[in-house]
């Protein structure tokens, strides 16, 4: 039964969403009260039903407590009253978690470099960081009101985790914030390494406010990992570190400048209906995507007005809550919508993991009189005008228009080791959007949507599993790779891929070298939803389909249409249909193009892709291909010329 009760909409204050601070508080209270239903008797562990994580059910219980506290902390800070006694509940639970003889006693994590010597898990490092982050946010309203004994016990537990070594990625910021909070609260942290860890992380800065989530190999240039972690961990935790630690003014100002740049570019990735980009790992965190935007607003940086930030944030919360039903009837599931969808989740995700969405409630730390809550809503970037922007150092081109936002991804692949790494559907595609999700399971294994694949005589696909180089320009980006199958390069195979986004379309061009016996296939976006029949059924399949005069395919499914038009080199087409392989719906369909290359001869293939809420007319570009040279002439007068063979000479 739906037991979430929302106040009436206020269109005078919030003309776009109708949602105000009262709606945010209602959702936060509901999530916290729901979490209590799954708490242990003493309250120190919160374990909703669901698949346990690889760290084990005990760690999952710690996770449920610490992550739901991320909702409670800003709510307690920004609201004068505490009608549901959230502070009392979390104080009682924390006491049970820290008491030596308690059945809820929290164990201590080990560092990743200790796993071979000792049994255990490093996961509580993350939850210690979440607890410290929440304690820092709510220090005067929660931490300072705990009794001395409980503060000492909690500090001792946090100190243990502050000096551990986690993974060489955003985990460096977890231990840094734990140490930062402890030092700010007057505790010594012998062996702390926060300063050097933050400096190392800062060395992974890319540009436009974005960070790579780990090191990039100086020899291969490999290791690109760019995703929502910039918003739900990297910027909130860096901001908290600079708040808590004593840093030179120039260094602090440099970071705040980066935070502002990030917020300005990241805000482009949200559609007007509140849909967020479906790319990267840990997507079950959902509205935690708002963490970086709230952080920038609280820090007073970035060019967006407070009313525009709230309009965007309320749109996201409304989308997940009112439209998708997340957390309405119970604890948020491991998935994207209200239903559980495990194929999109990672092994480290457990039933308490989705509560990291609490980072998306960070704006509640601002009191009711703050401009974030008093300014009238203003249009968010995707509502002001269709736009294209290249994040040059990130390797993305962003396009918004016709109700959707999409990116062309030519850098991030999350394959750490190109010799043994595997592809990931949430990084491996050329294209991602706010209204489509990549295929997982069999759909990913087949290698159709969002990729240029070489297909062998048995129908097996070799894909881009490790980009070797990236180059960008105004409205375009390109990359190259060696197609891989089973972790091994296909001998003699090489692909250069180019995306040009203009006038609502993405022009994709590929320079492909393939060995004997292989064909070439390119898939567009996968549309998904609740279909009329299974993919293998003789009944009407999901997605309306049209064959165009140009030999292309248009598919309409869910609430979007994808158009795929062959422009050069392609000789065949088709539609791949799946069931149970997409986070956006039970049934999915992807249009694709095929061709048979001349073995060993570099060949150019060009197509036009369009994703939107409506069907479109004529493709606004004509092309000419001479050898490896592509010339594109757009209907508005723009002209592009690329020597594909020389982009990565």
Listing DSSP states for 171-186 in one string gives HHHHHHHHHHHHHHTT
Q: Specify burial of residue 368 (Cβ count, 10 A radius: 0-12, 13-18, 19+).
A: middle
Which tokens go with 334? 């491991």
Question: Coil, helix or strand for 63?
Answer: helix
Looking from the CA of 310 toward its CB, the CA atoms found within 13 Å total: 29
CATH numbers and ranges of domains, the chain: 21-384 (1.50.10.20), 387-616 (2.70.98.70)
Report residue 71: phi and psi, to 5°.
-80, -45
| CB of 647 closer than 8 Å to CB of 602 | no
Within 10 A of 355 (CB to CB), how many other CB atoms are there?
Answer: 30
Within 6-123, where are the H helices? 21-36, 57-78, 86-98
Q: How far is CA 640 from CA 186, 470, 498, 565, 637, in A?
A: 60, 18, 12, 19, 10
Helix (H) / strand (E) element for 263: namely helix 249-266
Q: How far is CA 186 from CA 153, 345, 494, in A?
A: 14, 39, 58
Question: Coil, helix or strand for 557?
Answer: strand
Question: Coil, helix or strand for 553?
Answer: strand
Q: Are strands 621-626 and 494-502 parallel, antiparallel or unpaired?
A: unpaired
DSSP, res 46: B
DSSP, res 143: G
Q: Which residues of the chain, if any, have pLDDT below 50?
A: 1, 116-119, 416, 532-539
Which tokens go with 501? 């986004």
pTM, two decimals, is: 0.95
Q: Return the closest-CA partner of residue 428 out of 471, 474, 477, 483.
A: 483
Which tokens go with 124? 């509580």
Residue 549's pLDDT is: 66
Q: Which long-range contacts (CB under 8 A, 24 or more apart) does 198-206 make?
A: 198/172, 198/173, 198/238, 198/241, 200/168, 200/172, 201/170, 201/172, 201/173, 201/234, 201/238, 202/255, 205/258, 206/393, 206/394
Which tokens go with 475? 């409205």
Distance (Å, whole) CA 316 – CA 310:
10
Residue 116's pLDDT is: 45
Q: Return the closest-CA partner of residue 36 out of 67, 68, 4.
A: 68
């Amino acid at each position: 039964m739906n037991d979430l009760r929302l106040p009436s909409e206020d269109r005078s204050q919030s003309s776009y969403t109708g949602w105000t601070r009262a709606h945010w508080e209602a959702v936060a209270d509901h999530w916290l009260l729901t979490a209590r239903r799954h708490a242990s008797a003493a309250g120190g562990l919160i374990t909703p039903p669901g698949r346990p994580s690889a760290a084990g059910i005990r760690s999952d219980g710690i996770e449920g407590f610490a992550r739901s506290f991320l909702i409670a902390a800003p709510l307690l800070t920004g609201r004068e009253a505490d009608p549901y006694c959230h502070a009392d509940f979390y104080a009682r639970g924390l006491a049970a978690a820290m008491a030596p003889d308690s059945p809820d006693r929290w164990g201590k994590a080990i560092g990743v470099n200790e796993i071979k010597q000792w049994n255990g898990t490093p996961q509580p490092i993350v939850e210690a960081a979440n607890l410290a982050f929440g304690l820092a946010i709510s220090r005067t309203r929660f931490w300072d009101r705990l009794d001395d004994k409980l503060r000492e016990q909690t500090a001792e537990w946090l100190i243990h985790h502050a000096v551990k070594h986690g993974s060489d990625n955003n985990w460096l910021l977890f231990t840094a914030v734990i140490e930062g909070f402890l030092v700010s609260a007057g505790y010594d942290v012998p062996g702390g390494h926060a300063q050097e860890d933050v400096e190392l992380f800062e060395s992974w800065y890319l540009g436009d406010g974005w960070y790579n989530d780990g090191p990039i190999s100086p020899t291969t240039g490999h290791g690109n990992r760019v995703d929502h972690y910039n918003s739900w961990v990297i910027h909130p935790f860096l901001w908290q570190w600079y708040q808590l630690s004593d840093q030179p003014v120039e260094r602090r100002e440099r970071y705040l400048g980066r935070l502002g740049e990030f917020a300005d570019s990241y805000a482009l990735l949200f559609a007007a209906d509140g849909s967020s980009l479906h790319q990267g790992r840990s997507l079950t965190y959902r509205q935690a995507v708002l963490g970086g935007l709230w952080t920038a607003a609280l820090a007073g940086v970035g060019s967006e007005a407070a009313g525009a930030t709230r309009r965007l944030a309320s749109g996201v919360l409304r989308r997940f809550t009112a439209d998708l039903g997340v957390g309405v009837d119970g604890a948020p599931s491991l998935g994207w919508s209200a239903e559980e969808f495990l194929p999109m989740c990672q092994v480290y995700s457990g039933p308490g993991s989705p509560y990291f969405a609490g980072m998306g409630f960070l704006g509640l730390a601002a009191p009711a009189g703050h401009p974030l809550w008093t300014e009238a809503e203003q249009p968010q970037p995707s509502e002001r005008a269709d736009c294209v922007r290249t994040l040059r150092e990130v390797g993305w081109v962003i396009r918004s228009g016709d109700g959707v936002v999409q990116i062309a991804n030519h850098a991030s692949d999350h394959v750490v080791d190109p010799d043994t790494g595997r592809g990931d559907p949430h990084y491996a595609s050329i294209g991602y959007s706010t209204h489509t999700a990549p295929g997982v399971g069999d759909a990913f294994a087949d290698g159709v949507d969002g990729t240029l694949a070489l297909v062998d005589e048995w129908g097996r696909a070799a894909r881009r599993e490790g980009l070797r180089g990236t180059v960008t320009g105004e409205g375009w980006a390109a990359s190259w790779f060696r197609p891989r199958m089973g972790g091994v390069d296909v001998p003699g195979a090489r692909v250069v891929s180019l995306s040009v986004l203009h006038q609502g379309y993405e022009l994709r061009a590929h320079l492909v070298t393939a060995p004997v016996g292989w064909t070439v296939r390119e898939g567009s976006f996968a549309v998904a939803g609740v279909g009329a029949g299974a993919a293998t059924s003789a009944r009407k399949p999901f997605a309306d389909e049209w064959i165009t005069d140009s030999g292309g395919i248009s598919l309409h499914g869910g609430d979007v249409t994808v158009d795929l038009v062959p422009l050069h080199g392609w000789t065949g087409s088709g539609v791949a249909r799946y069931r149970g392989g997409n986070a956006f719906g039970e049934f999915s369909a992807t249009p694709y193009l095929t061709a048979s290359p001349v073995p060993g001869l570099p060949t150019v293939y060009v197509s036009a892709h369009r994703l939107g809420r409506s069907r479109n007319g004529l493709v606004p570009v004509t092309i000419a291909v001479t050898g490896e040279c592509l010339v594109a002439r757009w209907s508005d007068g723009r002209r592009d010329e690329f020597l594909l063979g020389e982009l990565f000479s």
